[in-house]
């Protein structure tokens, strides 16, 4: 007997690490980005977008990446001993 297939929901998860400079104190900060999307995102686009970020505040970087890629995004970093995590959720 053939079992009817349920409608599938596909979510792709992309993870990438990149470095940007803090505009306040010049520290190099390592960012960890995770994007969950129902759409396919080319890894080359993620790498190019993050490579273009030379400096910025964590929250501004998160907002610009969300605007570019959408989906659900989590970006984390540690700066001066403070862990920062920003989550942007799918609409």
Q: What is the pLDDT of residues 17-28, one digit of tens each?
A: 999 999 999 999
In a domain, 89, yes or no: no
In a domain, 4, yes or no: no
In a domain, 73, yes or no: yes
What's the token pair of residue 68? Answer: 């570019």
Task: For 6-63, write each residue's pLDDT tens digit.
Answer: 678 889 999 999 999 999 999 999 999 999 999 999 999 999 999 999 999 999 999 9
Q: Which domain holds residue 33?
A: 12-81
* Total length of the chain: 91
**pLDDT score recorded for residue 91:** 60
In a domain, 87, yes or no: no
User: pLDDT band at residue 3, thresholds of 50, 70 and 90?
Assistant: low
In a domain, 7, yes or no: no
Which whole-number Å values give the CA distances from 50 to 1, 4, 12, 26, in the listed order?
50, 42, 19, 18
Give the pTM: 0.87
For residues 76 and 58, give the distance between their C-alpha atoms in angstroms, rounded to a whole number.
8
């Amino acid at each position: 007997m053939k079992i009817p297939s349920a409608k599938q929901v596909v979510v792709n998860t992309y993870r990438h690490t990149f470095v940007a400079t803090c505009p306040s104190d010049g520290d190099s900060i390592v960012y960890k980005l995770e994007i969950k999307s129902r759409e396919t995102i080319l890894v080359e686009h993620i790498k190019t977008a993050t490579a273009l970020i030379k400096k910025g505040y964590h929250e501004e970087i998160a907002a610009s990446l969300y605007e570019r890629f959408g989906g659900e995004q989590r970006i984390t970093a540690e700066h001066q001993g403070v862990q920062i995590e920003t989550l942007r959720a799918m609409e």
